A and B are shown apart, each in its own frame.
Chain A
């Protein structure tokens, strides 16, 4: 039982971070219909940039982290402006593959600037473990969960209350109508990319403060895909609910299945979930079921 609550708490908290990264994906998908497959690489590059700011340049945390956020905003703007904007109106295949090109580019950039494969961030959170019931959880996980929840609440308020958020939802709903109302749709696309990059950056910082910076962060980004698939591509709520489910399945399943199967089974549980969801319920838990016409 101790074991179980240990796995469960770790799983749910890590799942929160997955959900955070996944929200960035949903944001772009909803507003512009672009599937951002560069998610993993974005998480990687922002983690390394954090490393560059905090360790290599030696900035204090209060200066370094805002710089990372600024950098993320810039990267999001650049990607949208240079790679996505020229392709507006192109078939979905081009829109997906252009993000693959971006992913490749970022991967090259990362190994060009930071040739070493592993690094650790300085400690951002206090390190004495907390006792939750009988389980022992390191504080980093709980902080990650808390920060994720705060961001969810902020984002939800933003989309419900703020003018910009409402416009973004409107663009997701009907681009043509919004354009007719005089909203510059392309600007919204660029905003959503900037937002998504910030979310990826926060997710990257949280993940790498837990596990260090490795190439595995790309896979963390990919696990966010299993969150969006399970939750439904166009649903914020779906991402928030599915994130902890994926984290839970990964950690609890990994914990109990490893003795039965091969080691490292937790690495592929999210991908197995993707395949299962595809077979049973392709539009996910909360996604909109699309009805097509010729």
Chain B
């Protein structure tokens, strides 16, 4: 919480505020104004990229709580997103739930499933936990693929667009507003959660779980809580994804995606509020750039191997993860805070 010189706090409320100076508020206003007028000047293609970014931010924020704050590595996040997506689709499709109720229930269902697979975290950690979340990923996807009567199996499932109060959100622009509002709420709540007792307990568990336990943190409760919150957000993201694409199949939620989410929070910066946002922007824009540029390169250099367009994306992403871990393990969020510090100290 670095502040410009000369800013003092006279009340606790002032001390704890997220936005302290007028400049902060101005920047926030500019940013929000830009964001919410976005659909006016972004084309439909970029708007759908923006929607995907919003959904990914929600999911990555969930994983960040679980992995970045609480230190429980999960490589099954896409599986939990799938649970949320299918739960929401089934509830709204079959049982006629209104969209918002479906959204919350999807989060709850995904959170509960996450808690079940989080139970081993009480006894194991690190690699063991990573493996049991991989197992979760495969088991969930297998169940989705084979429980044909409920999920449509390999044929997939059609999902109606979200509707709130009788207004059906069909267009990308209307979905954009829905998703962005939820993103802002999620990021705000997460930021506050991590400053509370719960968030500090998570950090204590991450840094040394035995020491945390000795200090009176109930590991059982807080680890499961971390799994619940992380997977709850995954479920929310899944629900939004389902109603955004309009069609679900298990191919949207592979283990590759799970690894992608881990990569996102690493590139963004583990254990920071802003990290998942930066990481998501980096990865999704990189993917978009590659899909735009790769065919051009392939056209220009015909001797390239045939799989260039499909292969180059994962290669660049893998390389980015490795390089970030080696060169900047604190991620883009750290770069951002360095930038802010130098901006504040300018011209020195």
Residues of chain A having any CB pair with chain B under 8 Å: 29, 35, 37, 82-83, 86-87, 90, 92-94, 96-98, 100-115, 219, 222, 225-226, 229, 233, 262-264, 267-268, 271-272, 274-275, 278-279, 282, 292-294
Pair B214/A112 contact, Cβ less than 8 Å: no
Interface string of B262-292 (1 = CB under 8 A from A): 1100100010000000000000000000000
Pair B214/A100 contact, Cβ less than 8 Å: no
Q: Which of B128, B306, B315 touches A109 (beta carbons < 8 Å)?
A: B315
Interface string of B245-260 (1 = CB under 8 A from A): 0000000000010010
Bound CA span A237–B139, Å: 28
With contacts A115-B305, A225-B131 taken as known, whether A103 is within 8 angstroms of B259 at the C-beta atoms is yes
Segment with Cβ contacts to A, from B220-228, B231-239, B321-329: B321-329
Pair B266/A97 contact, Cβ less than 8 Å: yes
Q: Which of A29, A93, A262 touches B73 (beta carbons < 8 Å)?
A: A93
Pair A112/B305 contact, Cβ less than 8 Å: yes
Interface residues of B in 142-174 (CB under 8 A from A): 142, 145-147
Contacts of A282 in B (CB 8 A): 120, 123-124, 128
Pair A115/B311 contact, Cβ less than 8 Å: yes
Bound CA span A260–B214, Å: 48
Main secondary structure of the interface of A (DSSP, over half): helix
Q: Say yes or no: is B71 at the interface (Cβ < 8 Å to chain A).
A: yes
Pair B321/A294 contact, Cβ less than 8 Å: no
Pair B315/A98 contact, Cβ less than 8 Å: no
Bound CA span A108–B119, Å: 34
Additional A-B contact list (13), CB under 8 Å, known A111-B311, A263-B146:
A96-B127, A101-B317, A101-B320, A101-B325, A105-B318, A107-B318, A108-B314, A108-B316, A110-B311, A225-B131, A226-B131, A271-B139, A275-B117
Interface residues of B in 81-123 (CB under 8 A from A): 117, 119-120, 123
Looking across the interface, which residue of chain A has its beta carbon closest to that of B123?
A: A282
> Which range contains the number of B residues in contact with the other chain?
35 or more
CB distance from A75 to the nearest CB of B (A): 14
With contacts A112-B308, A279-B120 taken as known, whether A35 is within 8 angstroms of B314 at the C-beta atoms is no
Pair B126/A96 contact, Cβ less than 8 Å: yes
With contacts A98-B321, A271-B135 taken as known, whether A92 is within 8 angstroms of B315 at the C-beta atoms is no
Pair B321/A229 contact, Cβ less than 8 Å: no
CB distance from A67 to the nearest CB of B (A): 20
Contacts of B11 in A (CB 8 A): none
Looking across the interface, which residue of chain B has its beta carbon closest to that of A34?
A: B127
Bound CA span A279–B214, Å: 24
Pair A293/B120 contact, Cβ less than 8 Å: no
CB distance from A118 to the nearest CB of B (A): 14
Pair B139/A275 contact, Cβ less than 8 Å: yes
Q: Say yes or no: is B310 at the interface (Cβ < 8 Å to chain A).
A: yes
CB distance from B196 to the nearest CB of A (A): 23
